[in-house]
Chain A
């Protein structure tokens, strides 16, 4: 009996500790494909590690007609989406919602926004510039233009967002309204329906969780 009570106290604290620490450290999942890779340690032993899908190198013209690359987002988390300026259906809602997040984090340089246009015919940088001004956002929110294959490719393969030209659609293009959350290691940590208020609310809650990961 005495033996048992001696043991039960540390066990109790261990459980308590676990519960509280687990609660504080909600972590966002990592999305996309992953592969197991065997890594050789310096001492000759080996261990396996998961390699996660990451956003590849890219190079696009931004709203100021400047070529930007991943370097622009180095040490930032960012939210990416696909849209076009003459879109009259879901884009205004997505950007209304994203704008409210933007306004919230205006003073935090650790978070950025990256909107890719899928209208490679009309949305030249000058058009994007005007759009950004009318939306009322600054350089923390980048708008980019690129060749169709590159934008459509990165959308579907890397950000996992479906986009296409559609001659039957009134606006000429259709796409999904995902807001994709990317961490500082270029990995996908969340995808939120930018037209759904509940989903956007979840994104609002997840941003500080992701930022906290890098606080230590």
Chain B
């Protein structure tokens, strides 16, 4: 009786630790997402739109989940250094110029990435601040 009680207690503790770890991570992601949304409204919404719908052929949409997935490790570079040349997003070609945001701190970039990769139909989960430095080393 006592043994089962301890076993149950042990199990519950472990479960709650795992659960709270997960939710701590979730809380962090939510925080990134919310701050990322504020940054997005301030720096990006003018071109990419409130719902990530883009602007005609002047600015591409952020609703192409495949593009954002395939280029996930390049997103930090795009935000920091801007982007030009021809790219294909959501089946359309874009030949524009996105300005650089080189004044943004790594944490801002991470929060923006969490926001754009988890809104407008995207659902890629967390992207940590430490990842920004790593990704920026590989910019082309």
Among B22-30, B50-58, B115-123, B130-138, which stretch is in contact with chain A? B50-58
Mark out the residues of chain A between 85 and 109 whose CB falls within 8 Å of any chain B CB in the assembled complex.
Answer: 86, 88-90, 92-93, 95-96, 99
Mark out the residues of chain A between 73 and 95 whose CB falls within 8 Å of any chain B CB in the assembled complex.
Answer: 86, 88-90, 92-93, 95
Which applies to chain A's interface (DSSP): helix, strand, loop or mixed?
helix
Cβ of A31 within 8 Å of any chain B Cβ, yes or no, is: no
Complex CA–CA separation, A96 to B49 (angstroms) = 9
- Residues of chain B contacted by A90 (CB below 8 angstroms): 46
Q: How many A-B residue pairs have CB under 8 A?
A: 30
Cβ of A41 within 8 Å of any chain B Cβ, yes or no, is: no
Smallest Cβ distance from B58 to chain A, in angstroms? Answer: 5
Cβ of A133 within 8 Å of any chain B Cβ, yes or no, is: yes
Q: Are B49 and A170 in contact (CB under 8 A)?
A: no
Q: Are B58 and A134 in contact (CB under 8 A)?
A: yes
Cβ of A136 within 8 Å of any chain B Cβ, yes or no, is: yes
Cβ of A67 within 8 Å of any chain B Cβ, yes or no, is: no
Cβ of A131 within 8 Å of any chain B Cβ, yes or no, is: yes
With most chain A CB atoms within 10 A of its CB, the pick from B47, B58, B97 is B58
Q: Are B56 and A136 in contact (CB under 8 A)?
A: yes
Cβ of A16 within 8 Å of any chain B Cβ, yes or no, is: no
Q: Are A96 and B55 in contact (CB under 8 A)?
A: yes
Please name the residue on chain A nearest to B58 by beta carbon.
A134
Complex CA–CA separation, A115 to B58 (angstroms) = 16
Q: Are B49 and A133 in contact (CB under 8 A)?
A: no
Mark out the residues of chain A between 133 and 185 whose CB falls within 8 Å of any chain B CB in the assembled complex.
Answer: 133-136, 170
Q: Which of A92, A136, A170 is within 8 Å of B59, CB to CB?
A: A92
- Residues of chain B contacted by A170 (CB below 8 angstroms): 99
Q: Are B55 and A92 in contact (CB under 8 A)?
A: yes
A-B residue pairs in contact (CB < 8 Å), sample of 5 = A88-B47, A90-B46, A135-B56, A135-B57, A136-B56
Chain A interface residues (CB < 8 Å from chain B): 86, 88-90, 92-93, 95-96, 99, 131, 133-136, 170
Known: A93-B46, A96-B46. 17 other contacts (CB 8 A): A86-B97, A88-B46, A88-B47, A88-B99, A89-B46, A90-B46, A92-B46, A92-B47, A92-B58, A92-B59, A96-B55, A99-B56, A134-B56, A134-B57, A134-B58, A135-B57, A135-B58
7 nearest CB pairs, A to B: A134-B57, A136-B56, A88-B99, A92-B46, A93-B46, A135-B56, A134-B58
